[in-house]
Chains A and B, each alone.
Chain A
Amino acid sequence: MHLTPDELIDVAEGTRRESSLPHLASCGVCRRQVADLRAVLSTVASIQVPEPSPLFWEHFSVRVRDAIAADPAGSGWRWVWTRFRTPLVLAAAPAVLVLCVLGARVIAPRLLPSHDATASLASSVPAAGQGTARDTLASDDPSFLLVADLAGPIDLDTAEEAGLADQSSAEHAVAHLSQGELKELHRLLKRELGNSTN
């Protein structure tokens, strides 16, 4: 019984010793087959793949990157984002800045009241005894009511501590007058108000 292809291959490759197959020593056909296999193996193994130019490998890596980036399967975008995140953010930052500036210069003036509107708002503040300005403003814009409610309980000392009131302001000066100075201020204001009503 001749050797099987498995046995012939194992012997030809040297993964199995010839002595482990006694048939081989007595069979010329099998010995010739092993010799032929070894000869073909030797011939085939001597064939080298031509080495591409050294530049080819760098170009190849770039081509693979480009192919992945252009891959319609979609995963390429994730790869592009992870790989080029920093330059993309840096490139987008000026665009965002320009949009903010445009927003501030074009859109904000339309949302904020104009000088004329401020003037008309001031003229709409009722005189004493006709209701408070708070009530009038609140009816026009609920946001003013919110601001008024938030600011209402804050006294001058609290505002000062929060850095909202400047020590050189009129409010600060009045709050720190002595009794005599307050009396004098009261007298002067009364006289000025009397002059203005006359």
Chain B
Amino acid sequence: MASSLAWSLPPTTWAAVSMTETDTRPLAALDERSLIDACLAGEAGAFDLIVERHRRSIYQLCYRFVGNHEDASDLSQDVFLRAFRGLKNFRGQSSIATWLYRIGVNVCLNRVNAKAPLNQPADPIDDYQLVDVRSDSPADRILKQERDARVRAAIAQLPEKQRAALILRTYHEMSHQEIADVLGSSVGAVKANFFHALGHLKKLLIDEI
């Protein structure tokens, strides 16, 4: 009965109601370590739940690196694929989010290095309509979209470490220590990169600020 119910539910719901073989709590109630253990035990739905919980933030991280939906989508998928492969190596010394961010930053930097420098986002202005700007007038909305595109293009011109430090600090609210863990550097180096990133942006966005 339970299995037929599970198959009739959408995958995300199924993941939430699945039980682990060693733990009778629903997957959604498991802490991070137990969820990883459930994945390693081959529990159906456990990794789905990890994807469901972190896909938005990983997508946003990738988007901020590459500046367009297509690449961000591909890179996010790659992040979760690498995470799945590396599950057995996850020792729980950091949160799943930090671990995924670390993979995400590496994946994004590898992609950025492999490609020609990204001078500006590839998405056309029309693709930005899903940002909630309902309180703005149409003219304001267009101006804001153009301004956002210029800022994204400026961020895309930053050196890798500066860009990573800026993105993780500004948009993902990570502490300098967490960023240092992700980037494999010191807190001092992260702060220096952050400082120089802001200095660079000030020059690049002289007309915006």
Within 8 A of B (CB), among A62-77: 62-65, 67-68, 71, 73, 75
- Which A residues lie at the B interface, using CB under 8 A? 5-6, 8-10, 12, 36-37, 39-41, 43-45, 47-53, 56-58, 60-65, 67-68, 71, 73, 75, 78-79, 81-83, 85-86
Instruction: Spell out B's residues near A (CB within 8 Å).
Output: 3, 7, 10-12, 42-45, 47-48, 51-52, 55-56, 59-60, 63-64, 69, 73, 76-77, 80-81, 84-85, 123, 127-132, 148, 151-152, 155, 166, 170-171, 188, 191-192, 194-196, 198, 201-202, 205, 208-209
What separation, in Å, do the CA atoms of A10 and B192 have in the docked complex? 11
Closest to B188 in A: A6
| CB atoms of B191 and A9 under 8 A apart | yes
By a CB distance below 8 angstroms, the chain B residues around A9 are 191, 194-195
Q: State whether B170 touches A44 (Cβ < 8 A).
A: yes
What is the total of A-B residue contacts with beta carbons within 8 Å?
Answer: 121
- Contact between A40 and B52 (Cβ–Cβ < 8 Å)? no
- The listed residue with most A CB atoms (<10 A of its CB), out of B123, B196, B205, is B205
Are B130 and A64 touching (Cβ within 8 A)? no
**A interface SS class:** helix
A7 to chain B, nearest CB (A): 9
Q: List 22 A-B contacts (CB under 8 A).
A: A6-B195, A9-B195, A37-B198, A40-B198, A40-B205, A43-B201, A45-B171, A47-B148, A48-B131, A48-B132, A49-B131, A50-B123, A50-B127, A56-B73, A60-B51, A60-B73, A61-B52, A62-B11, A64-B80, A64-B81, A68-B80, A75-B84
Alpha-carbon distance A69/B53, docked complex (angstroms): 20
Q: A73 to chain B: which residues have CB within 8 Å?
A: 85
